[in-house]
Amino acid sequence: MCQHLKRDGDELVVVDAYVEVLLATGTSVAAVESLFASLVSLYIKDLGHHNHKFLGMRVELGSDGAYRIDQEEVIKRAHGMSDVNLTKTPIDECYEIVGDDAALLETNGAGGSATINAFQSLVGSLLWVARCSRPNISFAVHKATRQTHAPRVLEWKLSKRVAQ
């Protein structure tokens, strides 16, 4: 993905380009429209406001003019979590090992149990989400990734909670 900036006095237009898709925003609607008017000669079509998916992120323009970005649908579908209940916080106030939570995850996942590969895939996805659209989950993701070489049930439960 490439990012291009166009400055004209106090006006700024930011354009993200990925393959044949352009996503533009700016300090004013007139500045963005002016940029797209100059691109018409290149046969670029303006599809209007973007309330769709872009690089795996759902992008929505709110009624207040602010964009909201999330990756919830992609993560839940990729890790079989479409029917989970939401939690208010990504990590418990008192994060500690209790009983069977200290057991290591299995390497081969017999009987549909959690595996090391499934855990590593989930925390990898969470790292991407924390970097791109949800910096508020960074602490919880950090806690979950401390044991990626030998994850325990505790880290698996934490990563599933963060993904909710």
Diameter of the chain measured on Cα atoms? 67
Q: Summarize pLDDT for 115-161 with one digit per residue, the tens.
A: 888 888 889 888 888 887 788 888 888 888 888 888 888 888 888 88
Residues 85, 136, 140, CA angle at the centre, nearest 5°? 70
Q: Summarize pLDDT for 57-91 with one digit per residue, the tens.
A: 777 777 887 777 777 776 776 666 666 666 666 67
Q: Summarize pLDDT for 30-49 with one digit per residue, the tens.
A: 998 888 888 777 776 666 66
Neighbours of 136 (CB within 10 A): 10
